[in-house]
């Protein structure tokens, strides 16, 4: 019985050593748009600052999707809400993938300038 415990501990130690990121992939610029939604015509706005948001998902054993797929609209809304603004301009997005022993993490990173309309 003690032999099986030692084998189990050894296997868990090996799994812990190999549970690091196997491969990291980045597409530096997946896309760019001057604005993501049509801006209001004949209105003035102020730039509140730069913002960044991440939407990601996890695939267990590279096959089973555990969390929802990355949604660019959700990431854009998160970036705008960080600065309490109205819209996002000069928008760029990056796709990243991390390959682990137990699965894959896919990230969609959205960066841009948050604006707020003046009345």
pLDDT tens digits, one per residue of 14-39: 666 566 666 666 666 677 777 778 77
What is the number of domains present in the chain?
A: 1
pTM (whole model) above 0.75: no
pLDDT tens digits along 52-65: 999 889 888 777 88
Asked whether the beta carbons of 86 and 36 are under 8 A apart, the reply is no
Q: Please state, rounded to an integer, the average pLDDT across all residues of the chain.
A: 81
Length of the chain in terms of residues written? 119
Cα–Cα distance between 94 and 92 in angstroms, integer? 7
Cα–Cα distance between 39 and 73 in angstroms, integer? 16
Q: What is the CATH number of the domain that holds 76?
A: 3.30.110
Domain that holds residue 40: 22-117
């Amino acid at each position: 019985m003690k032999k099986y415990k030692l084998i189990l501990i050894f296997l868990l130690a090996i799994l812990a050593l190999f549970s690091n990121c196997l491969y990291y992939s980045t597409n530096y610029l997946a896309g760019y748009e001057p604005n993501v939604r049509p801006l209001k015509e004949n209105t003035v706005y102020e730039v509140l600052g730069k913002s960044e948001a991440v939407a990601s998902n996890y695939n267990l054993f590279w096959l089973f999707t555990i969390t929802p797929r990355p949604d660019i609209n959700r990431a854009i809304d998160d970036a705008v809400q960080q600065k309490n603004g109205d819209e996002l301009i000069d928008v760029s997005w990056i796709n990243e993938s991390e390959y682990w022993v137990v699965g894959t993490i896919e990230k969609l990173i959205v960066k841009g300038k948050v604006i707020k309309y003046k009345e």
